[in-house]
Amino acid sequence: MTIVRDKIFIGGQWVAPQGSGFIDVIDPSDASIYARVPEGAPADAEAAIAAARDAFDGWSRASPVERADCLERIAEGFRARSDDLALAIAHEVGMPLKLAARVQVGGPLGSWRHYAQLAREFEWEARVGNSLVVREPVGVVGAITPWNFPLNQITLKVAPALAAGCTVVLKPSEVAPINAFILAEIIAEAGVPAGVFNLVTGYGPVVGEVLASDPRVDMVSFTGSTRAGKRVAELAAATVKKVALELGGKSASVVLDDADLAAAVKGTVSNCLLNSGQTCSAQTRMIVPRAKLDDAARLAAAAASSFRVGPALAEDSRLGPLVSAAQRDRVVGYIRRGVGEGARVVAGGADAAPAGEGFFVAPTVLVVDDAKATIAQEEVFGPVLVILPHDGDDDAVAIANDSIYGLGGGVWAGSDEHGLAVARRIRTGQVDVNGAPWNPLAPFGGYRQSGLGRENGVYGLEEFLEYKAIQLRAG
């Protein structure tokens, strides 16, 4: 049965949109229509901005404890509807259900709780000489979020923004919006004041561009492609609003000569294939010692081939479909281009997808000699790992840094000390050493064309704050 949402959330109410169209949400596991949501018009975005503007004064003056209490109620409602959220994301994105529950829902739940706690503990003001330096909310925030980790990216914008005292207009991805509707219901039931959170669905060039350009919006926080991020920044520049961008990546896993090769390959393949490779920080380039290239390719092929591809709701699926037919075709096109430029296929390939109506691509491993090849430089956003040879630490670092991006990465070495020394030389926002786990309290963001600003932890809260210095007379 197709879910139909015919209202958007503005000023604390579910209201009929001024736009008359609908957008189909496609289940990538079988290409069926999972849901329909409103195709918002510019007037809808403008109404939401007005509601957020009206609510800002009251919410920004609420005490941090009051805001923390609201976030805790949201977290409790979030927990109660975790199953609904996981099922929605499995249908929208195609991530296998059990993994979606753990990654796509479990992580955001922890973040809501964290920002409630942080609102209580954060140092909101401090004396510096004869000045009182206070931290104040930046204002009305336009949040534009992607489809690959939809609820996580919504949470990492909305939760810290609300904790900071900002009001928010959210435009979720039209590809995966149902989880955002569920979250809006949770926020409404938590008693958050009217206008503090608003939800408008629609297309980026329509709704998103209003958020980026409207002078009543003080900050726009965007996660998505580098191309779209450049457009957001261009529009935001006209009103000199604050901009946070979390964009693309082509992250490298650097395997040094003294590393445990089997562990390095297994860890890199798992990282690369998370969410069917639709992860901005995925380690999609594995740079290995030239003498170990064939061994690395053999191990990677075996690891990739062990991932069972199937529908998101199938019990034995380990790798789901890509999110859309367009995304599948894009990834297959990159594989074909890689082969055309000399890449050697050791697992998967353009024609190895399982049969079915869904948008499947087999996990693919390519060996590439030229680090300048298209497949080694451009973000594919699919289950494709490129293996490149290096000739020592200096060469490995040079290859890793030869990218317009700088979001994530990894280093595998015989000791953590060796790995850390090389990690310090890699120009990227995050680097894992010897498979160290993800830390949700550490800053996440990128160098160069991977974006501006940071998310997660206190660093994510500070993105939504301004400094004010109040000079006081002595005595």
Domain with CATH 3.40.309.10 in the chain: 251-440
Question: What is the helix (H) or strand (E) element at residue 159, kind and residue range?
Answer: helix 150-164
Domain with CATH 3.40.605.10 in the chain: 3-247+450-471
- Strand partners for 289: 390
Distant-in-sequence, close-in-space partners of 120: CB < 8 Å, separation ≥ 6 = 64, 65, 68
Which of 92, 246, 379, 463 is flagged as catalytic? Answer: 246
Q: What are phi and psi of 355, to 5 degrees?
A: -70, 155
Examine the residue annotation and report whether 166 is marked as an active-site residue of this protein. Answer: no
In the chain, the amino acid numbered 340 is: G
C-alpha 272/C-alpha 251 separation (Å) is 9
Contact 37, 201 (CB under 8 A): yes
Which of 280, 379, 455, 463 is flagged as catalytic? Answer: 280
- Strand partners for 463: none
Examine the residue annotation and report whether 246 is marked as an active-site residue of this protein. Answer: yes
C-alpha 310/C-alpha 292 separation (Å) is 32
Provide the CB-side half-sphere exposure for 411 (13 A, CA).
Answer: 27
C-alpha 189/C-alpha 185 separation (Å) is 6
Domain 3-247+450-471 fold:
Aldehyde Dehydrogenase; Chain A, domain 1 (3.40.605)
Strand spans (E) along 303-413:
344-347, 364-367, 384-390, 409-412
Only one residue has tokens 């390095």, namely 264
> Looking at domain 251-440, which of 1.10.569.10, 3.40.190.10, 2.60.40.10, 3.40.309.10 is its CATH number?
3.40.309.10
- Look at residues 325, 404, 394 and name the one whose alpha carbon lies nearest to residue 360: 325
C-alpha 392/C-alpha 47 separation (Å) is 58
Digit-by-digit pLDDT tens for the chain (475 residues) are 899 999 999 999 999 999 889 999 999 999 999 999 999 999 999 999 999 999 999 999 999 999 999 999 999 999 999 999 999 999 999 999 999 999 999 999 999 999 999 999 999 999 999 999 999 999 999 999 999 999 999 999 999 999 999 999 999 999 999 999 999 999 999 999 999 999 999 999 999 999 999 999 999 999 999 999 999 999 999 999 999 999 999 999 999 999 999 999 999 999 999 999 999 999 999 999 999 999 999 999 999 999 999 999 999 999 999 999 999 999 999 999 999 999 999 999 999 888 788 999 999 999 999 999 999 999 999 999 999 999 999 999 999 999 999 999 999 999 999 999 999 999 999 999 999 999 999 999 999 999 999 999 999 999 999 999 999 998 6
